[in-house]
């Protein structure tokens, strides 16, 4: 019995285009060659190439303009592929907090985190505590847990702190694109540490978000607990 793995042409083309984007051949904001040129290059019909471009457009890697061309989407905090942490201020203006790492360590996975990351109980994880600030005010305090097994020895050695833009980091270092997540949401009263970090009163309720992020194979990539000062900032999400 032979198992034949059938991969449609357009998916092969799609993957190759994506690889070339990540390799830097077409940097963000640059325009791709037009459909006919690319189709000829790959030796496929325009329709097949188009189907590849359409999927990449649906996944927000590309942006197409009729009459103009197809450009590579920006990958940054602004127009993130995965719009996590949509935080707004009181004037309904989106804010882009900066990150301050308080703690960075390698530990055995805490018991209550095991289920979220779906890993063995004796595995190790990278653990970081960070605060995120905007205009010198603290917006949120968060703890991040990432399975150590994703990191190569070399990366671990060279990395002194966790990079700020984690989802971009996972993509470039692990090749894992976070494209979905589940969140458990709670309103909680602040603990002592929260009061200090967020500079709030003990009666200020906090929005607690427990987020598990998954890559396209539904492998958990990270677990994150955020406590947000929702009296000053709005946490917005899109569901679809």
Partner DNA sequence: AAGTGGTCTAGACCACATT
Partner DNA sequence: ATGTGGTCTAGACCACTTA
Binding site for DNA (CB under 7 A): 4, 6, 8-11, 32, 34-36, 43-48, 50-51, 53, 64-70
Q: How many amino acids of this chain bind a second copy (CB under 8 A)?
A: 29
**64-123 binders of a second copy (CB under 8 A):** 82, 84, 88
CB of 230 to DNA, least distance (A): 39
- State both tokens at 71: 């450009």
Kindly state whether residue 11 participates in binding a second copy, applying the rule CB under 8 A.
no
Cα gap 220→3, rounded to integer Å: 29
- State both tokens at 139: 């917006």
Q: CB under 5 to 8 A by kind: which of a second copy, DNA, none does 96 bind? A: none
Q: Which of 140, 105, 116, 21 is nearest to 70 (CA)?
A: 21
Q: CB under 5 to 8 A by kind: which of DNA, a second copy, none does 34 bind? A: DNA
Handedness of CA 139, 129, 206, 119 (dihedral sign): positive
- Which x/- pattern over 208-227 shows residues binding a second copy (rule: CB under 8 A)? x-------------------
Phi-psi region of 96 (alpha: psi -120 to 50; beta: other; left: phi over 0): beta
CB of 216 to DNA, least distance (A): 15
Stretch that binds a second copy, among 63-71, 122-130, 154-162, 229-237 (CB under 8 A): 229-237
Cα gap 185→208, rounded to integer Å: 6
CB of 34 to a second copy, least distance (A): 21
Contact 160, 144 (CB under 8 A): no
């Amino acid at each position: 019995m032979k198992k034949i793995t059938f991969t449609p042409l357009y998916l092969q083309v799609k993957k190759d285009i994506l690889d070339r984007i990540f390799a830097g051949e077409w940097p963000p904001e640059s325009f791709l060659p037009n459909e006919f040129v690319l189709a000829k290059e790959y030796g496929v019909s325009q329709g097949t190439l188009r189907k590849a471009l359409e999927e990449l457009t649906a996944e927000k890697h590309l942006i197409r303009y009729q009459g103009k061309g197809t450009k590579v989407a920006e990958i940054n905090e602004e127009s993130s592929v995965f719009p996590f942490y949509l935080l707004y201020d009181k004037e309904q203006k989106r804010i882009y907090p900066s990150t301050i790492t308080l703690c960075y360590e390698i530990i055995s996975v805490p018991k209550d985190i095991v289920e979220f990351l779906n890993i063995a109980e004796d595995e190790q994880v990278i653990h970081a505590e960070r605060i995120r600030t905007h205009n010198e005010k603290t917006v949120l305090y968060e703890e991040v847990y990432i399975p150590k097994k994703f990191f190569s020895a070399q990366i671990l050695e060279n990395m002194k702190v966790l990079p700020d833009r984690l989802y971009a980091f996972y993509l470039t270092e692990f090749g894992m694109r976070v494209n979905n997540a589940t969140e458990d949401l709670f309103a909680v009263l602040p603990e002592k540490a929260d009061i200090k970090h967020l500079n709030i009163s003990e009666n200020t309720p906090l929005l607690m978000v427990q987020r598990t992020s998954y890559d396209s194979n539904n492998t958990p990539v990270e677990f994150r607990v955020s406590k947000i000062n929702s009296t000053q900032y709005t946490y917005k999400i899109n569901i679809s």
